[in-house]
Amino acid sequence: MSKVQPYNPKNFIIKPNPVILGIESSCDETAAAVIRGRELLSSRIISSASEQAKYGGVVPEIASRAHTDAVDEVVALAIEDAGITLSEIDGVAVTYGAGLLGALLVGVSFAKSLAYALGVPLIAVNHIRGHLAAAYLGEPELKPPFVTMLASGGHTAVLHTLDYSHFEVIASTCDDAAGEAFDKVARVLSLPYPGGVNVERLAKDGSPNIHLPSCLVREGNNRFSYSGLKTAVINYCHNAEQKGEEVNRADVACSFQRAAIDPLVKKTVESAVALKVGTVTAGGGVVANGYLRNTLQAECRKRGLKLVLPEKKYCTDNAAMIAAEGLIKYLNGEFAPLSLNAAAQIPLGN
Ligand code: KG4
Ligand code: ZN
């Protein structure tokens, strides 16, 4: 029997235009994608969202079992779509956090086994860094510095991206994230899971005629409070109910959407102008919101800023963004040991 080559993250040779397989399993999407350098070759998703919708949100055990069912199939589909063979893969990038532990472990374990079997480096990707790297899929020539709007289910911030691996936080939320607020308001409005996109749909039939507080608060305007905004929506609905008045749900959705997005867009654009950075990018599930995209586009145009927006399908969870961030780490030689474990929480900067 031939001797198994020991896996040593220090022994790999870095290739200039590598083929990276990305794997994502942090929540309810099992996803795989292949890139060659900055070129996206394939991106596949198998989602358990319709199953989760029956319970009104993500049930962690259902998510883990769905990933176990789907991970080999989604990887095979991504490889087939890319028109490559397994032996052409130069690195396996996987989301190791943040997310649901049991869900993450499925992707991490699969990626470890594959990297080991192929004799290629394993690359540990922070899910949120993946959302930020989605911008590179939108424009392969994109280079830092730029100002980034991050609006996801777990984070909301305006960042000054200094180079491929470093950024400074210009403004961030002091409580809930924007996506979390969309999901909570969806519940208040009795909208089904997934909340954010359903708030957007309902908002199309409404007017922004309900006064809600700005989510940009305190300390030189560099703190957002989405919990305060969500509470204002709850109070508005509650007061109307107590007075026996009918709540126009579409108006609530529309007013909330504007209150959640306008200050974030304003802060992003003003930061780019103040820092004299000519390019703006955005990432995270909330960036799939049509109102956000249109408003950001219009404000950037007004200020003469170049906007690089990932397509909507690369704003919500996908593996193309994990491969894109994996490429950055691959080129830096940042390879993970096979003892890599999943982490439910990771600081934004890691
Ligand atoms: O970025 P993401 O995957 O979350 C984290 O990784 O933390 O995005 C999920 C979030 C959810 O809160 C979801 O409601 C929100 O993105 N979202 C939206 C839309 N699509 C997804 N929010 C507003 N409008 C949308 N169209
Ligand atoms: Zn995500």
pLDDT for 219 equals: 60
Q: What is the pLDDT of residues 27-61, one digit of tens each?
A: 999 999 999 999 999 999 999 988 888 888 899 99
Mean pLDDT, rounded, for 123-142:
95
Answer for the pair 172, 347: CB distance below 8 angstroms, yes or no: no
What residue's CA is closest to ligand 1, atom 12? 179
User: Which residues lie below 8 Å from residue 72, measured CB to CB, with a gap of 6+?
Assistant: 110
Q: How far apart are CA 110 and CA 332, in angstroms?
A: 23
Amino acid, single-letter form, for residue 21 = L
Q: Which of 152, 226, 293, 309 to mutate to test the pocket of ligand 1 (most atoms within 8 A of CB)?
A: 152
pLDDT for 217 equals: 79
Please name which of 223, 212, 156, 158 lies closest in space to residue 185, comparing C-alpha atoms. 212
Identify which ligand lies nearest to the alpha carbon of 49. Answer: 1
Q: Where are the beta strands (DSSP E) in the chain?
A: 19-24, 29-36, 39-47, 91-97, 122-126, 146-151, 156-161, 167-173, 216-217, 223-224, 279-283, 306-308
Q: How far apart are CA 230 and CA 277, in angstroms?
A: 32
Ligand 1 midpoint to CA 160 (Å): 22
b/e for 120-147, b at 16 or more Cβ within 10 A?
bbbbbbbbbbbbbbbbbbbeeebebbbb
Judge if the beta carbon of residue 283 lies within 6 A of ligand 1.
no
Least confident residue range of 51-60, 76-85, 106-115, 158-167: 51-60
Q: What is the pLDDT of residues 320-335, one digit of tens each?
A: 999 999 999 999 999 9
Q: How far apart are CA 38 and CA 44, in angstroms?
A: 17
Beta bridge partners of 22: 33, 93
Give me the DSSP letters along 21-43.
EEEE-SSSEEEEEEEETTEEEEE
Q: What's the token pair of residue 262?
A: 């306008």
Q: Has residue 26 got a pLDDT over 90?
A: yes
Q: Where are the beta strands (DSSP E) in 37-76?
A: 39-47
H helical segments located in 204-319:
226-242, 249-275, 290-302
CA torsion through residues 109, 111, 112, 116, sign: positive
Judge if the beta carbon of residue 152 lies within 6 A of ligand 1.
yes
Q: Has residue 1 got a pLDDT over 60?
A: no
Q: What's the token pair of residue 95?
A: 């989301």
Judge if the beta carbon of residue 196 lies within 6 A of ligand 1.
yes
Please name which of 347, 345, 338 lies closest in space to residue 119, comparing C-alpha atoms. 338
User: CA 52: distance to chain centroid?
Assistant: 19
Question: Residue 191 burial by CB count (10 A; 0-12/13-18/19+): exposed, middle or buried?
Answer: buried
pLDDT for 221 equals: 76
The DSSP code for 195 is H
